[in-house]
């Protein structure tokens, strides 16, 4: 519920009496009650199971507090709900009463989680597409555009997940080095040009981790591998080759394995590295400009130009890469709707197989977090919301369709990240990684691994600190093998 309150007010704190407080221009008092009371652990267990025969009464009210202390009721909601729905319903009720009291509405309504398509899928299992869309709008308070997007994307995700067989997993290999750190990045990334001595020891650690995890005891096959970061192509060519060859030689791949290389920074792409990637079977390539405006690129700390993005794309095409994704971010500092949509048109003109639209997230620990200390930055901006809808429509006109979707905390206007594709080039890894239905093995600093046990995702996280990761790689191998034994 704190996530809902933070969307409206920013920081939420607990006072000395145990009550939650948040800054608000208008004094409000909110009461949420569950009758009979349910302990949090029981509610969480019911939520994970997704089924319960027990019902309970849930009530949320918001009062406007007058100067003399009188409490005037603004909005009240009463529902009798199943135990496994309590957490969702409490958040929904809180959103509805706060929206009524503040006159603020977010595009995704009461949904604050990472995967709103899961709510859409739950609805689709009970009703047809039209009724599911209506439920998302009426009950969960999504806008009509987001309700339709959630339903369409949920259906696309299901078709993709059906391609993954039992005992198949995803593999992520992460490199926390970039040519420079972007303004919006909160990852523990290092400047590759200044960390040459650290690069080899890091690569050696990832090779050792792959060898230790895939030592013959691993049961199953890897259906998709994603080399991400950071920027893997920021490595020198000889070390880049080792990073691919000696990590992958231990991995038991499925016959039709999907291999994706994130070459997100165009200034790290050259013919030699593309030849290496191609030699090791990487057929999907990510070239991520984020914007096609040179002034913005300089502002956000990316040391490349629009022209370099275009040249990198054409180089990859000339070398036979026919499955390319490009990322754009809506809401970057200094950009308005026109500049964002101009960037989109310039990317569409290149003709990549996939385009991923991100909403700018103000992440803690990023340089951007220090710039945007005004909470209004995260409140709904009608112009930005409209620009994203126009972008979605342009992509549909060009034959692109949404195939995966996720949300992050502190995104501008409460918007989302959506992957669009055409011609059957959807990323299996992207969809599987965002679901809690497919095991993922993560190698490298900050990488997460998960297995699914009794409908619950169990996770192990590698240290984010590079030196700590390198020093403790043997410990991480043991943790992963223990995790995999529970799958």
pLDDT of residue 111: 96
398 and 302 part of one domain: yes
97 and 175 part of one domain: no
Q: Write down which residue in 83, 104, 125 finishes a domain.
A: 104
- Residues 129-171: pLDDT tens digits? 999 999 999 999 999 999 999 999 999 999 999 999 999 999 9
- Residues 296-320: pLDDT tens digits? 999 988 889 999 999 999 999 999 9
What total number of domains does the chain contain?
Answer: 2
Position 120 in a domain: no
Please tell me the distance from the alpha carbon of residue 80 to that of residue 66, in angstroms, as a whole number. 31
pLDDT of residue 372: 64
The most confident of the ranges 112-116, 175-179, 402-406 is: 402-406
Position 121 in a domain: no
pLDDT of residue 366: 62
| Predicted TM-score of the model (pTM) | 0.93
Please tell me the distance from the alpha carbon of residue 347 to that of residue 381, in angstroms, as a whole number. 24
Residue 445 belongs to domain with CATH number: 3.20.20.70
pLDDT of residue 403: 98
Query: Comparing C-alpha atoms, which of 434, 398, 432, 433 is closest to residue 416?
Result: 434
CB 450 within 8 A of CB 458: yes
Which helix (DSSP H) or strand (DSSP E) does residue 471 occupy? helix 466-471
Please tell me the distance from the alpha carbon of residue 248 to that of residue 78, in angstroms, as a whole number. 55
88 and 181 part of one domain: no
pLDDT of residue 42: 75
pLDDT of residue 60: 95
Rg of the chain over all Cα atoms, to the nearest angstrom: 23
Q: SS3 of 225, please?
A: strand
pLDDT of residue 105: 97
- Concatenating the DSSP letter of every residue in 394-437 gives HHHHTT-EEEEEE--TTBGGG--EEEEE-SS---HHHHHHHSSS
Has residue 294 got a pLDDT over 70? yes
Phi/psi at 400 (nearest 5 deg)?
-85, 145
Has residue 11 got a pLDDT over 90? no
Q: Write down which residue in 104, 120, 151 finishes a domain.
A: 104
Partnered with residue 14 across adjacent β-strands are 20
Position 155 in a domain: no
Please tell me the distance from the alpha carbon of residue 302 to that of residue 264, in angstroms, as a whole number. 11
Has residue 191 got a pLDDT over 60? no
Pull the structure tokens for residue 201: 């020891």
pLDDT of residue 15: 87
CB 398 within 8 A of CB 350: no
- Residues 46-98: pLDDT tens digits? 666 666 778 899 999 999 998 877 899 999 999 999 888 888 999 999 999 99
Position 393 in a domain: yes
451 and 367 part of one domain: yes
pLDDT of residue 440: 97
188 and 308 part of one domain: yes
- Residues 337-379: pLDDT tens digits? 999 999 999 999 999 999 999 999 886 666 666 666 666 788 9
Under the banding of pLDDT at 50, 70 and 90, the label for residue 184 is: low
pLDDT of residue 18: 79
Under the banding of pLDDT at 50, 70 and 90, the label for residue 385 is: very high
Q: Which residues of 330-357 are buried (b: 16+ CB within 10 A; e: fewer)?
A: bbbeebebebbbebbebbbebebbbbbb
Has residue 275 got a pLDDT over 60? yes
- Concatenating the DSSP letter of every residue in 30-97 gives EEEEEES---HHHHHHHHHHT--S-EEEEEEEEEEEPTTS-EEEEEEEEEEEEGGGHHHHHHHHHHHH
Q: Write down which residue in 104, 130, 148 finishes a domain.
A: 104
Under the banding of pLDDT at 50, 70 and 90, the label for residue 278 is: very high
91 and 213 part of one domain: no
Position 251 in a domain: yes
Position 346 in a domain: yes
Angle separating helix axes 86-102 and 40-49, nearest 10 degrees? 110
More confident residue, 432 or 25: 432
CB 429 within 8 A of CB 226: yes
CB 70 within 8 A of CB 109: no
As a residue count, the chain comes to: 487
Has residue 190 got a pLDDT over 90? no
Please tell me the distance from the alpha carbon of residue 368 to that of residue 377, in angstroms, as a whole number. 11
177 and 287 part of one domain: yes
The residue-averaged pLDDT of 110-117 equals 94
End-to-end CA, the chain: 31
Residue showing tokens 């034994």 = 485
Phi/psi at 226 (nearest 5 deg)?
-130, 115
For a pLDDT cut of 90, what percent of the chain falls above it? 76
213 and 290 part of one domain: yes
Instruction: Report the 3 state secondary structure along 251-294.
Output: CCEEEEEEEEEECCCHHHCCHHHHHHHHHCCCCEEECCCECCCH
pLDDT of residue 84: 84
Please tell me the distance from the alpha carbon of residue 301 to that of residue 292, in angstroms, as a whole number. 14
Phi/psi at 284 (nearest 5 deg)?
-105, 135
Please tell me the distance from the alpha carbon of residue 236 to that of residue 245, in angstroms, as a whole number. 14
185 and 95 part of one domain: no
Has residue 194 got a pLDDT over 90? no
Q: Cis before residue 444, ω within 30 degrees of 0?
A: no
179 and 51 part of one domain: no
78 and 218 part of one domain: no
pLDDT of residue 186: 64
227 and 82 part of one domain: no
Position 228 in a domain: yes
Please tell me the distance from the alpha carbon of residue 158 to that of residue 432, in angstroms, as a whole number. 10
The residue-averaged pLDDT of 208-234 equals 95
| Average of per-residue pLDDT values in the chain | 92
Tell how strand 71-82 and strand 456-461 pair up: unpaired
The residue-averaged pLDDT of 457-472 equals 94
Please tell me the distance from the alpha carbon of residue 253 to that of residue 245, in angstroms, as a whole number. 14
For CA atoms 463, 466, 470, 472, the dihedral sign is negative
Domain span at residue 229 reads 168-474
Position 132 in a domain: no
Among the listed ranges 4-8, 66-70, 267-271, 431-435, which one has the minimum average pLDDT value?
66-70
Pull the structure tokens for residue 4: 């809902």
pLDDT of residue 68: 76
pLDDT of residue 122: 94
- Biggest CA-to-CA distance, the chain: 75
């Amino acid at each position: 519920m704190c996530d809902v309150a933070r969307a409206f007010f920013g920081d939420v704190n607990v006072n000395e009496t145990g009550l939650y407080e948040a800054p608000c221009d208008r004094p409000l008092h909110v009461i949420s009650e569950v009758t009979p009371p349910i302990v949090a652990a029981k509610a969480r267990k019911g939520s994970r199971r997704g089924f319960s025969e027990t019902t309970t009464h849930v009530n949320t009210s918001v009062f406007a507090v007058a100067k003399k202390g009188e409490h005037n009721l603004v909005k009240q909601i009463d529902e009798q709900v199943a135990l496994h729905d309590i957490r969702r319903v409490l958040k929904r009720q809180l959103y509805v009463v706060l929206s009524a009291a503040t006159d603020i509405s977010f595009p995704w309504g009461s949904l604050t989680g990472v995967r709103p398509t899961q709510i859409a899928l739950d609805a689709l299992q009970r009703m047809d597409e039209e009724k599911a869309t209506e439920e998302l709008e009426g009950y969960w308070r999504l806008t009509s555009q987001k309700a339709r997007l959630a339903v369409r994307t949920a259906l696309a995700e299901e078709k993709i997940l059906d391609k993954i067989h039992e005992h198949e997993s995803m593999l992520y290999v992460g490199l926390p080095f970039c040519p420079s750190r972007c303004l919006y990045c909160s990852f523990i990334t290092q400047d590759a040009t200044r960390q040459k001595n650290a690069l080899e020891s890091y690569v050696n650690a990832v090779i050792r981790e792959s060898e230790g995890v895939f030592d013959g005891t691993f049961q199953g096959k890897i259906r998709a591998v994603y080399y991400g970061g950071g920027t893997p192509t920021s490595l020198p060519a000889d070390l880049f080759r080792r990073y691919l060859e000696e990590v992958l030689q231990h991995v038991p791949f499925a016959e039709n394995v999907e291999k994706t290389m994130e070459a997100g920074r165009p200034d790290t792409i050259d013919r030699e590295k593309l030849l290496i990637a191609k030699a090791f079977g990487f057929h999907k390539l990510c070239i991520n400009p984020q914007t096609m405006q040179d002034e913005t690129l300089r502002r956000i700390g990316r040391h490349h130009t629009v022209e370099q993005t275009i040249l990198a794309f054409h180089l990859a095409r000339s070398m036979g890469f026919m499955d390319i994704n490009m990322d754009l971010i809506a809401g970057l500092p200094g950009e308005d709707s026109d500049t964002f949509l101009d960037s989109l048109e310039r990317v569409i003109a290149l003709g990549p197989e996939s385009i991923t639209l991100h909403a700018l997230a103000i992440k803690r620990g990023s340089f951007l977090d220090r710039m945007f200390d005004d909470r209004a930055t995260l409140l709904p901006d009608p112009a930005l919301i409209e620009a994203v809808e126009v972008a979605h429509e342009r992509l549909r006109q060009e034959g692109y369709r949404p195939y995966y979707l996720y949300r992050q905390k502190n995104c501008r206007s409460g918007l989302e990240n959506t992957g669009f594709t055409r011609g059957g080039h959807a990323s299996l890894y992207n969809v599987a990684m965002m679901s809690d239905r497919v095991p993922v093995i993560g190698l490298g600093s900050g990488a997460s691994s998960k297995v699914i046990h009794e409908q619950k995702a169990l996770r192990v996280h590698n240290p984010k600190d590079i030196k700590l990761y390198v020093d403790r790689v043997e410990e991480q191998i043991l943790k992963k093998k223990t995790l995999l034994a529970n799958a």
